[in-house]
Structure 1
Amino acid sequence: MGGTTPEAPRRDAQGTRLMLLEAASALFAERGYERATVRDIAERAGVNQALLFRYFGSKKALFGEVVAHDGQEQLHTTPPRELFETALRGMLGHGDDRAREDRALATLLRSVGSGDEIGTAVRGMGDDYARVLASLSSAEDRGLRADLALSWMLGIGLMRVVVGKESLAEADPDEVCALVTGALATLLEDLPVTRFGDPHTTRSADLAR
């Protein structure tokens, strides 16, 4: 295995750290905190698992960095008006089609209930998303509206990513986004409404505005 044989190229500390973060990000999104083992993360990164503990101290600490990095990366690089649809499309993606920045909420969904420290990290990321969504409304109860929107998105993600609901797994992401954003326009008035070829969907979105 890479990193354990004399002929293997020597990796600098920063490069090894980044490889471990990338491997952990992918595995936490695919399996959740509990099922992504230290051994599997190290193997995917191509390093000895002792290096994981050297650079991060523990699996929990590594998870915290992954959540902070992936969640904040999406929040900081995605305009607020595009965040909901970007995150939703990420959860509706298929296998290799899911980009790195779309792993954040999949990690959240698959790691709920993994202990107090993990729960704190997961809740913190959810709160960050809700704050951004709240900026899309000027209503006095915009915090509640944002929580409702986030809850719906996570519910869709739960059924698609964790439960594997067939109708959602096979649904056209464009159609799902059109239906959901059209309905959510009554909650978050600045949320862009996605258009889809179905005339009924288009009319519903227009009415929601």
Structure 2
Amino acid sequence: MLDAASALFAERGYERATVRDIAARARVNQALLFRHFGSKRALFGEVVSRDGTEQLRSTAPERLVETVLASMLAPPTADGGDTGSSRSLETLLRSVGAGDEVSAAVAALGDDYARALATLSDADDSGLRADLALAWLVGIGLMRVVVAKQPLAGADAGEVSRLVVGALGHLLEGMAPHHGQGPGHG
């Protein structure tokens, strides 16, 4: 059920993903979704928390920017899907402004990412540096995934990652050096 909800929230955003469609994709009755989660908002909160928490739990802070970029920039798989943690940012971007509870879930996850990124800097303003890095990542995601702004939307994922990780490395001194993907990167 969570995988189906994650996929639909990422594709359509919170407002346009219906409980009926989520239940159909999960091949369950809507009543089962409501029994387990109580509401669409609670289901969304669970999806966001699960996907983002899993990415944070499984990724060392010095690799977080590169991991977020890789998941955000990767094309969907042949079946049109991808893994839950790779949908986390896309889900959030498509759902910002969907309501107080949704905004609260977005803010809480953003705080978790910012705390992890803040550990990469010994500077007195490490919190600000982390927020700036997170804002840039969200902006890149918004422009590439939601707005589909060219040339960013069509740019090579490895090249985008190389440029962003290199630039953010100056802001967050503890980031691991980029191990580029693709020819000529490394």
TM-score by length of 1: 0.82
- For structure 2, which runs of at least 5 residues remain unmatched after alignment? none
Match for residue 43 of structure 2? 62
Aligned to 1:32: 13
| Structure 1 segments (4+ residues) deviating >4 Å | 195-198
Does 2:159 align with 1:159?
Answer: no
Q: Structure 1 residues 157, 175: CA separation in 2 closer, same or farther (over 3 Å shift)?
A: same
Aligned to 2:126: 142
> Which fold has the larger relative contact order, with Cα–Cα distance below 8 Å and residues 6 or more apart in sequence?
2
Question: Gapped runs of 5+ residues in structure 1?
Answer: 1-19, 203-209
The residue aligned with 2:34 is: 53
Deviation per CA, 1:120-165: give whole Å up to 9, x if none. 0111001100000000100000000000000001100000110012
* Secondary structure in structure 1 of the residue aligned to 2:165: helix
Q: Is the 8 A contact 1:110 1:162 kept in 2?
A: yes
Q: Deviation per CA, 1:162-185, whole angstroms, max 9, x where unpaired?
A: 001232222111111111111111
- Counting matched residue pairs gives 181
Q: What letter corresponds to residue 131 of structure 2 in structure 1?
A: D
**TM-score calculated relative to the size of structure 2:** 0.92
Provide the C-alpha distance between the structure 1 equivalents of 2:83 and 2:50, rounded to a whole number of angstroms.
14
Between the aligned partners of 2:179 and 2:38, the Cα distance in structure 1 is 47
Question: What secondary structure does 1:94 align onto?
Answer: coil
Instruction: Please name the residue that 1:206 is paired with.
Output: none
Identity %: 63
Match of 1:10 in 2: none
Structure 1 residues 93, 23: closer, same or farther in 2, change over 3 A?
same
Find 2:53's aligned residue among 43, 47, 72: 72
Note the 1:1-209 alignment, pairs <5 A: 20-96=1-77, 98-194=82-178
C-alpha RMSD of the superposition:
1.6
Aligned-pair CA distance for 1:193: 2.9
Larger Rg: 1
Contact 1:136 1:191 survives alignment (8 Å): yes
Q: Is the 8 A contact 1:145 1:187 kept in 2?
A: yes
